[in-house]
Amino acid sequence: MSQPDVIVIGAGVIGLSSALALQARGLSVTVLDREGPAAGASAGNASCFAFSEITPLASPATLLKAPSWLMDPLGPLSVPPAYAWRIAPWMARFAAAALPHRVRRSTEAQTALIDLARAELEPFLAANGHGNLLRKYGNLQPFETEAEFRAAQPVWEARARHGFEFRHLTRDEMDEIQPGLAPRFIGGTFTPAYWSISDPKTYTLALAERFTERGGSIERAEVAALRLDGDGVRIDDTRRAGHVVLAAGAFSHRIARSLGDRIPLETERGYNTTLPPEALDLRVQITFAGHGFMVTKLDSGIRVGGAVELGGLDAPPNFRRAQAMLEKAKSFLPDLKPEGGRQWMGFRPSLPDTLPVIGPSRAGPRVTYAFGNGHLGLTQSAAMARLVADLVTGQPAAIDLSPFSPQRF
């Protein structure tokens, strides 16, 4: 078997986008994944390109809300008691990352990455024949009280400073964009450049198909360890490549340990229910920010999901969380038909400062890390692909990568 130039570990949206970008630079690429394409978070995410989400989750606002959220085991943020002791060091790092000066730096870095993602997305889709899968519905964020609206103003002001377009709406104006919201919502904010993909699983599988059409190989393999081997990298002593890109989502940190990198990645377990397309006349994406979930329109149905359960990789799913969000969605959107849905749980790979890891392993530049995007994997995927291709081919990176360094911890 001939040795490929690059092996990408991970067949989610970031791994496959990176594999296509590397192919476009003339490299031979093999992708390895423990389950195959679109088996993880890339299959069940909210389908959004959330280009306005520049504020890190680690922020003073989140710390203020967290105690009340944690009181509700089915609310927007949950930590199972049995897992609390294991996640305590991560939570301490999260709190430290929420200090104002660190939030400013994280916001600047996140903005640079998202600006690159927004610039790269449509050319990337066009180059791979997937432009027809892009949807531009926009996003509506309703609010229930004037106090909730005022509390959100620092976030909207930050977005305005960075040039993101949005409109604050009265109740009547909101009804013109999305009829049918419950009377409890007195107004909302509409963000037009909050795009989506037709269906995240369909899109990721389309990336896999295009990759193999262009000569790439996708193999099922659960990778445990990497080691440098002269001018290449050994993978579990069964495969070898000139370069390895680690983009294995929530499992990446386990593999990185074999090279001496201890990266504090934690797993946000996200839940959703996907209803049939006729479940609701949904015209935009809707974010119920105060309740930690979204209702999104896919070609294949209506998806109700979100929230955060910090529960690791091994515990069984708690689908009561998906049911709780569906019941809330029904009360917020009375016309919603909640029958006939499919429940799902997936792992979001998250780092305590909300920024992903992009850059070389401490062991050497022949291993490139590209993981930890949290809620923004799909959003940032085209930028991640561009940056991975730059790193592997020795080109200057399109943005400053120092805030994303694997060694920053």
Query: Is 289 part of any domain?
Result: yes
Give the CATH number for residue 161: 3.30.9.10
User: What pTM did the predictor assign?
Assistant: 0.95
Q: How many domains does the chain have?
A: 1
Query: Is 175 part of any domain?
Result: yes
Helices (H) and strands (E) in the chain, counts: 12, 21
Instruction: For tokens 């067949």, name the residue.
Output: 11
Query: Is 173 part of any domain?
Result: yes
Position 1 confidence tier, pLDDT thresholds 50, 70, 90? low
- Percent of the residues in the chain that have a pLDDT greater than 90, as a whole number: 83
Which has the closest alpha carbon to 114: 408, 374, 309, 390?
374
Query: Is 33 part of any domain?
Result: no
Sheet with 6-9: list strands edge to edge.
217-220, 29-33, 6-9, 243-246, 364-371, 357-361
Query: Is 330 part of any domain?
Result: yes
Domain of 295 in residue numbering reads as 58-81+136-194+265-350
Give the model's pLDDT for residue 165.
92
Query: Is 246 part of any domain?
Result: no
pLDDT at 205 > cutoff 90 = yes
Q: Using an 8 Å Cβ cutoff, are 309 and 73 in contact?
A: no
Query: Is 231 part of any domain?
Result: no
For 308, residues 6+ apart whose C-beta sits below 8 A from its C-beta are 76, 77, 78, 268, 269, 270, 292
- Tens-place pLDDT, residues 283-305: 999 999 988 899 999 999 999 99
Tokens coding 345: 């749980």
Query: Is 392 part of any domain?
Result: no
